[in-house]
Amino acid sequence: MKSISLLAPGHRGCAGCCDAMAAKFTLMGAGEDCIVVSPTGCLEVMTTPYPETSWDVPWIHSLFENASAVASGIEAALKALGKQGPKIIAMGGDGATMDIGLQALSGAFERGHNFTYVCIDNEAYMNTGVQRSAGTPYGASTTTSPAGKVSLGNPRLKKNMPAIMVAHGSPYVATTSLAYPKDMIAKVKKATEIEGPTYIHCHAPCTTGWGFDTSKTVEVARMAVQTGLWPLYEVEDGKVTKVRKIGNNKRPVDEYLKMQRRFKHLFTMEGGAEEIAKIQAIADKNIEEFGL
């Protein structure tokens, strides 16, 4: 029987790898008539050690910062050659999307190319060893924003990518989570069917980088949604249209933070409770803003 997945086994992703799951769900949403562009990162490295590849769809990797530009070129070429039809998807990590690739992403969206960008946000530069990125949340310890005697870890808030992409006039922007795969698949399908540049931001807990057991990837992702730290919503033509309410499942942020090694220091350091309270405030703000 044919596999539901267009990502073949044999890739070098860690056991429980979030990137593998995100890629799998994206391809399930897009279908086999697609062309995928990835920037440098875990996903690219773990799936394509020459001569092996895990991609059962056409796939191209160029550089770290230019996935959106490469996708723009593919889109233009298909149009010029009269070969439009395949869905064009750029899929990469938070470092490649929110930091080094932001210019190309902004340019591609401003020009209105018809493609979907999926950001797999595991909240650090994972492939190079867990360094801080614009996606690293407040208080997280990474190797370049480590917790220490005079440091609480990353002192900055996550860059609000969905808002940035909405500001570009994208017709469809949505957040997704590995804990809600059917939701993600549906959102990716919708994004790829809408004309114009569409954006999906996927929360992807990384067992190796965040420090939790390989079996807990989905559980941690669910907890993030249930605390309000990762709101699930869709924005269509600039308006928030669908929100996934937390309802009775609301959890305090402590329960999420203590599952992960990268936040452990918040529970032992002096002033840690205040820092955790700040993170709770972030969650509370999301809950209010999105009506979770």
Partner 1 sequence: MAYDMKMDKHKMVVVEGSYAVAHAVKTCRPNVISAYPITPQTHIVEDLSQFMADGEIPNCEYINVESEFSALSALVGSSAVGARSYSATTSQGLELMHEVLFNVAGMRMPIVMTVANRAVSAPINIWNDQQDSISQRDTGWIQLYAENTQEISDMTAQAFKISEDKDIMMPCMTCMDGFILSHVYEPLVLLEQDITDEFLPPFRPDRILDPRNPMTFGAFADPNFYTEFRYQQEQAMQNALKKIEDVASEFYDMYGRHFGGLIDEYRTEDADIIIMAMGSIIGTIKDVIDRLREKNVRIGLLKVRAFRPFPAQAIMNVVRDAKVVVVLDKNISLGMNAGALFIETKSVLYNTDIHVPVIGYMIGQGGRDIPMSTIEKIIADAEEVMRSGIRTESQFTDLKEELI
Partner 2 sequence: MKIVPGAICEAGTSRVNKTGGWRTFKPVYDYDKCIKCKLCELLCPDSSVRPKEDGYFEFDYNYCKGCGICANECPKSAITMVLEEK
What is the rounded distance in angstroms from the CA atom of residue 180 to the CA atom of residue 197? 23
Q: Which is nearer to partner 2, 154 or 177 (CB)?
A: 177
Let me know: does 45 contact 12? Beta carbons within 8 Å: yes
- Alpha-carbon span 72 to 62, nearest angstrom: 13
**Residue 54 corresponds to which amino acid?**
S
CA distance 194 to 186: 12
Instruction: Give long-range contacts, CB 8 A cutoff, 24+ apart: 138-143.
Output: 138/275, 138/278, 138/279, 138/282, 139/257, 139/263, 139/266, 139/275, 139/276, 139/278, 139/279, 140/262, 140/263, 141/261, 141/262, 141/263, 141/264, 141/265, 142/209, 142/262
- In the chain, the N- to C-terminal Cα span, in Å, equals 40
74 touching partner 1, by CB under 8 A: yes
User: Residue 53 or residue 106: which is nearer to partner 2 going by CB?
Assistant: 53
Token readout for 12 is 């070098």
| Spatial distance between the Cα atoms of 124 and 276, rounded to a whole number of angstroms | 20
Q: Which of 5, 106, 128, 144 is the binder for partner 1 (CB under 8 A)?
A: 106
Q: Is 4 a binder of partner 2 (CB under 8 A)?
A: yes
163 binds partner 1 (CB under 8 A): no
Q: Does 218 bind partner 2 (CB under 8 A)?
A: yes
Segment interacting with partner 1 (CB under 8 A) among 100-108, 117-125, 226-234, 276-284: 100-108
For tokens 């044919």, name the residue: 2
Q: Is 256 in the site for partner 2 (CB under 8 A)?
A: no
Please work out the total of residues on this chain that contact partner 2, with binding judged by CB under 8 A: 40
Phi, psi for residue 225 in degrees, rounded to 5: -70, -40
How many CA atoms lie less than 13 Å away from 143 in the CB half-sphere?
11
Exactly one of 5, 14, 99, 107 binds partner 1 (CB under 8 A); which one?
Answer: 107
Task: Provide the Cα torsion 105, 108, 113, 115; round to 10°.
Answer: -20
Among 190, 216, 244, 264, binds partner 2 (CB under 8 A): 216
For partner 2, what does the binding mask look like between residues 31 and 70, x meaning CB under 8 A?
----------------xx-xxxxxxxxx------------
Residue 19 engages partner 1 in binding (rule: CB under 8 A): no
Using CB under 8 A, which of 84, 143, 160, 214 touches partner 2? 214
Least distance from partner 1 to the Cβ atom of residue 217, Å = 25
Among 5, 14, 73, 211, binds partner 1 (CB under 8 A): 73
Residue 21 interacting entry, from partner 2, partner 1, none, C-beta within 5 to 8 Å by type: partner 2
Does residue number 125 form part of the binding site for partner 1 (CB under 8 A)? no
Of residues 113-132, those binding partner 2 (CB under 8 A):
none
Q: Residue 283's binding partner, choosing from partner 2, partner 1, none, with beta-carbon cut-off 5 to 8 A by kind?
A: none
Cα angle 42, 217, 17 (rounded to 5 degrees) comes to 25
Residue ranges that bind partner 1, judged by CB under 8 A: 32-35, 37, 44-45, 48-53, 55-63, 65-66, 68-83, 86, 103-104, 106-107, 110-111
Binding site for partner 2 (CB under 8 A): 1, 3-5, 7-18, 20-21, 24, 47-48, 50-58, 181-182, 207, 213-219
